[in-house]
């Protein structure tokens, strides 16, 4: 050990060196700290924040209740209960859509799996809450978040004319119910208008 090294050890040279850098930044450098609650960071595009549900331009939800997001979810946080729309026979929709944000790992697989791009990763990241139950989100919560982050909506694809007419006509006259050879015709409950 030379004398120079011994001197450096004695005066804690490395620490002085480090502190020097600190003081240099403190006195002459630009401030880098984000003033988070007061100032929000700008997030890059493709940020994978909270999963949200989207709508079409006419305000109807895009989700068709196919449960492919449920199948794709690695943390099993999505539950879809689908049913037939009462006013549109043979049209599937999700009667109940639950996304458990406490379990979500924000991987975005569900967004990729969705065949109608009804799901999207938003830039929502402020999910802290005092009540964990708030994080189990229903369709309405997800749509609200979607409205917040995706104000520009896609146009609803036009139905083929025949089918659209069938729906319209059914709306007026009611979906045909079962013909049974006896009186007291039972009403088909599902899909009955």
Task: Provide the binding-site residues for other proteins, judged by CB under 8 A.
Answer: 64-68, 70-71, 82-84, 89-92, 115-116, 160, 162-163, 165-167, 175-186, 188-191
Least distance from other proteins to the Cβ atom of residue 67, Å? 5
Closest of 171, 168, 172, 150 to residue 159, by C-alpha: 168
Query: In the complex, what is the shortest distance from the CB of residue 45 to other proteins, in angstroms, rounded to a whole number?
Result: 27
Which of residues 38 and 179 has its CB atom nearest to other proteins in the complex? 179
Q: How far is the CB of 187 from other proteins (least distance, A)?
A: 9
Judged by beta carbon, residue 72 or residue 127, the one nearer other proteins is 72
Question: Per the structure block, which two tokens stand in for 39?
Answer: 């100032």
> Among all chains, which residue has been given the structure tokens 């003033």?
35
Q: How far is the CB of 66 from other proteins (least distance, A)?
A: 3
Q: Which residue has the tokens 């729309």?
A: 85
What is the rounded CA–CA span in Å between residue 26 and residue 30?
A: 8
- 108 or 191: CB nearest other proteins: 191
Helix H or strand E encompassing 160: none
Residue corresponding to tokens 């406490």: 102
Shortest Å, Cβ 95 to other proteins: 9
CB-nearer residue toward other proteins: 113 or 136: 113
66 vs 136, beta carbon nearer other proteins: 66
102 is written with which tokens? 């406490």
Those residues whose C-beta lies under 8 Å from the C-beta of residue 159, and which sit 6 or more positions away, are 167
Measured CA to CA, the distance from residue 140 to residue 54 in angstroms comes to: 11
């Amino acid at each position: 050990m030379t004398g120079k090294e011994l001197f450096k050890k004695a005066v804690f040279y490395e620490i002085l060196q480090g502190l020097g850098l600190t003081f240099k930044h403190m006195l002459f450098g630009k401030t880098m700290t984000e003033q988070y609650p007061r100032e929000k960071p700008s997030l890059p595009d493709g940020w994978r924040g909270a999963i949200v549900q989207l709508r079409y331009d006419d305000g109807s939800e895009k989700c068709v209740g196919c449960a492919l997001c449920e199948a794709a979810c690695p943390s099993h946080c999505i539950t879809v209960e689908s049913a037939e729309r009462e006013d549109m026979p043979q049209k599937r929709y999700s009667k109940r859509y639950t996304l458990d944000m406490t379990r979500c790992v924000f991987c975005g697989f569900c967004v990729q799996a969705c065949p109608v791009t009804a799901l999207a990763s938003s830039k929502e990241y402020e999910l802290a809450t005092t009540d964990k139950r708030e994080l189990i989100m229903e369709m309405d919560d997800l749509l609200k978040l979607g409205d917040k982050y995706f104000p520009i909506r896609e146009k609803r694809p036009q139905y083929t004319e025949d089918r659209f007419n069938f729906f319209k006509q059914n709306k007026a006259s009611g979906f045909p119910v079962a013909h049974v050879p006896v009186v007291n015709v039972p009403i088909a409950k599902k899909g009955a208008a």
